């Protein structure tokens, strides 16, 4: 740990040196004239030719980024159904996923366990196994936006003990 810490300190010092050098060499820029009453200075021109196009582009980009969590869950559910799984089917990967899994937010070092439940069909009960000397389950129960409902594992809602979690529909 000390070697890693020393290495990070040296790396940080080197990066700081580069940043200081880059800052020192940056050209001095004149401050723009302050707009009067929120209006741009007289004779100035807009930085973009078509504001409506730029606004539309930015909104489209934001929509894509905003929807990534839901699209990821939708893809997981679709993939589960294509494998013959149904509501409450649990998929356990025996090894970390590869690119062909096409999971948007997965990493390539975690063997995932995943499943979905449709609460329109009624409440769901999740049985969480206790932590043992051989295994420990870490994870989350998330909604379709990948927002955490409950943490699972030693620091989770059942604190590493065997337990059941009841998830109910909003109504």
* Domain annotation covers residue 167: yes
* Domain annotation covers residue 70: yes
13-17, 48-52, 77-81, 90-94: range with lowest mean pLDDT: 13-17
* Domain annotation covers residue 72: yes
Distance CA 110, CA 142 (A): 17
Identify the pLDDT of residue 129. 86
Strands 148-152 and 90-92: unpaired
Q: What percent of the chain has pLDDT over 70?
A: 79
Strands 113-115 and 90-92: antiparallel
Whether 85 and 100 share a structural domain: yes
Identify the pLDDT of residue 22. 43
Total number of domains in the chain? 2
Identify the pLDDT of residue 123. 92
Q: Is the pLDDT of residue 16 over 60?
A: no
Buried b (16+ CB within 10 A) or exposed e, 2-12: eeeeeeeeeee
Q: Greater confidence, 160 or 78?
A: 78
Q: 50 vs 20, 45, 56, 82, CA distance in Å?
A: 38, 12, 10, 45
Q: 55 vs 46, 60, 63, CA distance in Å?
A: 14, 9, 12
Q: Is the pLDDT of residue 20 over 50?
A: no
* Domain annotation covers residue 25: no
Whether 157 and 99 share a structural domain: no
DSSP state of 90: E
Whether 73 and 132 share a structural domain: no
* Domain annotation covers residue 66: yes
8 Å CB contact between 91 and 115? yes
Whether 55 and 112 share a structural domain: yes
Distance CA 139, CA 151 (A): 6
Whether 105 and 122 share a structural domain: no
Helices (H), the chain: 2-25, 51-82
Strand partners, 90: 115
Whether 106 and 122 share a structural domain: no
Identify the pLDDT of residue 155. 84
* Domain annotation covers residue 86: yes
Domain extent for 102: 48-116
Q: Tell me: the pLDDT tens digits for 111-142?
A: 888 888 888 889 999 888 888 888 888 888 88
Whether 74 and 100 share a structural domain: yes
* Domain annotation covers residue 69: yes
pTM: 0.60
Q: How many residues does the chain have?
A: 171
* Domain annotation covers residue 34: no
Q: Tell me: the pLDDT tens digits for 93-104?
A: 888 988 777 777
Give the DSSP letter string of 113-153.
EEE---GGG--EEEEEPPP-SS----EEEE-TT--EEEEES
Identify the pLDDT of residue 2. 44
Identify the pLDDT of residue 28. 58
């Amino acid at each position: 740990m000390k070697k890693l810490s020393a290495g990070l300190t040296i790396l940080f010092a080197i990066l700081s040196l580069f940043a200081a050098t880059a800052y020192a060499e940056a050209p001095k820029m004149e401050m723009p004239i302050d707009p009067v009453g929120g209006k741009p200075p007289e004779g100035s021109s807009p930085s973009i030719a078509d504001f409506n196009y730029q606004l539309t582009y930015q909104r489209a980009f934001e929509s894509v980024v905003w929807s990534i969590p839901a699209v990821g869950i939708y893809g997981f559910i679709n993939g589960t159904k294509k494998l013959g799984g149904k509501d409450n089917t649990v998929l356990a990967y025996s090894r970390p996923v590869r690119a062909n899994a096409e999971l948007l937010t997965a990493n390539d070092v975690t063997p995932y366990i995943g499943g979905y439940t449709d609460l329109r069909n009624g409440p769901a009960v999740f049985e969480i196994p206790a932590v043992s000397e051989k295994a420990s389950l870490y994870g989350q129960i998330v909604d379709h936006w990948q927002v955490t409902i409950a943490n699972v594992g030693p620091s989770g809602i059942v604190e590493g003990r065997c337990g059941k979690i009841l998830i109910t529909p909003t109504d």
